[in-house]
Amino acid sequence: VLVDRGEHRHYMHKEIHEQPATLARAFSNLLNLDNSSLNGAVADVSFEGVNRIVLVACGTAYYAASVAKYWFESLANLPVELDIASEFRYRSAPLRADDLAIFVSQSGETADTLAALRHVKGKVKTSLAVINVPTSSIAREADHALEIMAGPEIGVASTKAFSGQLALLAALALKAGKDQGLVDADRERQLVTGMAGLPRLIAETIEIEPLVQEFATTMTTVRDALFLGRGALAPLALEAALKLKEISYIHAEGYAAGELKHGPIALLDKDVPVIVFAASGPLFEKTMSNVQEVAARGAPVLMVTDPQGAALAQEVGLKTLVVPSTAEVLAPFTHTIVAQLLAYHVAVLKGTDVDQPRNLAKSVTVE
Ligand code: G6P
């Protein structure tokens, strides 16, 4: 594909900066802003008679699916069977005629994800593909293909496709909640309005880039880094770690904050930065108490949080990066921007090949 990098030094940088526009396009396709309701292909998906969601993907798409698990549970009260495609296809995971299976893939050509789709065909009620390339194999073979409309993504590390996957999956979870009778018109209006406001909030988040870049300078010589989050921000911590590993070659791990004391805390000292994603809300205090254990080990902490969370974090002397407030369910959208910018700037400072990291391919079409 011939795509211009424009004024940007790397495709990844361009793709990060495109997100207010790609999300605006995605949401204008997904939402009807005149009456604050769902619209288009997602509104036509039926969850009637569906008793379980199966979510399968690889890489960054798997982390988008992992965030969506929280959404299908909280908005639709549906159990979710979530797995990476290479495991799912060879497990004897029981499949049922009242399952709705969703395959998430930017390229639509990932070999394991395609094989997993073929594996469920005829065994589940419906298969949906959440894809960026409408002509792809996964799009063609699924019962229904839903396009994230992110436009061509060139950087190997996925950015705008990830946020596009989140947008589509959030709309799907909302539809599931409606069909299950759990989301009423008021709640729908509230969530649709929240989603419609995201492109602007993403643009505001991108404005903190100079601060992220400044923090990145403290990470160029570290060997290890730890990312933490809770709730829907727990999978985001894993995605942030993946992003950093992929392009900066720094060993990074993502953990659910509550799991910290079951292992990773043993690794912490002043040389291991800990980046924490935390939105203000019911889980915030729990995360803060995890963070205080980290700080007590001398590890440098960065809290990525909204203004309310930042006020609390600063009271106890923690370094913060402030992202705009959103409804709690939508926090992954703003936090992921910081994760992307951080990985990008650390990689640039280290001088790695940001768009074509060693040993990695944009699309893995062999097993
Ligand atoms: C490769 C890419 C990742 C991507 C993953 C899944 O590992 O480097 O960026 O997340 O494949 O690709 P897919 O096209 O199925 O989303």
Kindly tell me if the per-residue pLDDT of 366 is higher than 80.
Answer: yes
Average per-residue pLDDT for the chain: 96
Q: Give per-residue pLDDT as tens, 226-247.
A: 999 999 999 999 999 999 999 9
Which tens digits make up the pLDDT trace of 173-214?
A: 999 999 999 999 999 999 999 999 999 999 999 999 999 999
Backbone angles phi, psi at 256, to 5 degrees: -70, 130
Q: Which atom of ligand 1 is least distant from the CA of 113? A: 15
The pLDDT tens digits for 37-81 are 899 899 999 999 999 999 999 999 999 999 999 999 999 999 999
Six-digit token pair at 330? 């939508």
Our answer on whether the CB atom of 61 is closer than 6 Å to any ligand 1 atom is yes
The finding on whether 203 has its CB within 6 A of some atom of ligand 1 is: no
**Arithmetic mean of pLDDT, 144-154:** 96
Does ligand 1 have an atom closer than 6 angstroms to the CB of 165?
no
1 pLDDT higher than 80 = no
Distance, in Å, from the CA atom of 219 to the CA atom of 139, rounded to the nearest integer, reads 40
The average pLDDT across 323-334 equals: 95
Residue 73's SS3 state is: helix
Contact 155, 10 (CB under 8 A): yes
CA of 160 to the centre of ligand 1 (A): 12
pLDDT at 90 exceeding the cut of 70? yes
% the chain with pLDDT above 70: 99
The average pLDDT across 165-170 equals 98
At residue 283, the pLDDT reads: 92
* pLDDT score for 35: 84
What's the whole-number mean pLDDT along residues 150-166?
96
Would you say the CB of residue 343 lies under 6 angstroms from ligand 1? no
Q: What is the pLDDT of residue 36?
A: 87
Q: Atom 5, ligand 1: which residue's CA is nearest?
A: 59
Predicted pLDDT of residue 33:
86
Given ligand 1 and candidates 55, 156, 363, which is best to mutate, with the most ligand atoms within 8 Å of its CB?
Answer: 363
**How far away, in angstroms, is 104 Cα from ligand 1 center?**
10
Q: Is 111 in the pocket of ligand 1 (CB under 6 A)?
A: no
Pocket test for ligand 1, best of 112, 165, 340, 362 (most atoms within 8 A of CB): 362
pLDDT above 90 (res 367): no
List active site positions: 362
pLDDT of residue 34: 86
Calculate mean pLDDT across residues 4-17.
Answer: 94
User: Is 12:344 a contact under the CB 8 Å cutoff?
Assistant: yes
| Residue appearing with tokens 């974090």 | 313
Would the CB of 250 count as within 6 Å of ligand 1?
Answer: no
pLDDT at residue 281 is higher than 70: yes
Residue that is written with structure tokens 């005149």 in the block: 34
**Is the shortest distance between the CB of 312 and ligand 1 below 6 Å?**
no
> Looking at ligand 1, which residue's alpha carbon is closest to its atom 15?
105
The pLDDT of residue 17: 98
State in Å: Cα 325 to ligand 1 middle. 29
Give the residue, by CA position, lying nearest to ligand 1 atom 3: 59
Q: DSSP characters for 196-239? A: HTHHHHHHHHHTTHHHHHHHHTTSTT-SEEEEEE-TTHHHHHHH
